Amino acid sequence: MINQEVVLKNAWITHSQFMDIVAISQMTPGPIAINAATFIGYQKGGFVGSVLSTLGVISPSLIIMTLITLTYIKLKNQPWFKNIFKKLRLLSLGLIAAALIMVAGDAFRDLFSVLVFTASFIASWKFKLNPFYLLIGAAIVGMVLG
């Protein structure tokens, strides 16, 4: 969705810059939307632009999550409310899968990138390695062998 708005519709950044934002967002704390807003805001309006863009992205979520939290505290023991949260877990899984499908074409450029991903996935799943160490290891392998 971010790609659609900032690259295709408004042409604020190039597709290459967007992929850089995605990569950097994986290494920095916070969601991609906040990192992208900060980057694009800085590109278009300097420091003030980055602050205003970031606030514009986080304010709606902050307000909504505050309201949801207050509602959750009041309704958490209701059976129908518990059922809604079970369904929301499935929705979250679907959104993550959709993001993976969208980025996979650009992320898996060749056999090498597929092998690095596969090795990282297996190491994470089977050996429960910290994602930070996997990221550093993949970067080193990419620099040395890629």
pLDDT of residue 65: 94
DSSP class per residue in 22-56: HHHHHHSSS-HHHHHHHHHHHHHHHHHHHHHHHHH
When mean pLDDT is compared over 15-19, 28-32, 69-73, 103-107, the highest value belongs to: 69-73
Other Cβ atoms less than 10 A from the Cβ of 21: the count is: 22
Question: What's the whole-number mean pLDDT along residues 68-83?
Answer: 91
Question: What's the whole-number mean pLDDT along residues 111-122?
Answer: 88
Which of 26-40, 107-121, 124-138 has the lowest average pLDDT?
26-40
For residues 36 and 53, the model is more confident at: 53
Q: Distance between CA 146 and CA 143 in Å, rounded?
A: 6
DSSP class per residue in 69-116: HHHHHHHTT-HHHHHHHHHHHHHHHHHHHHHHHHHHHHH--SHHHHHH
pTM tops 0.75, yes or no? no
Q: Distance between CA 97 and CA 99 in Å, rounded?
A: 5
| Cβ atoms of 36 and 25 closer than 8 Å | yes
pLDDT of residue 35: 82
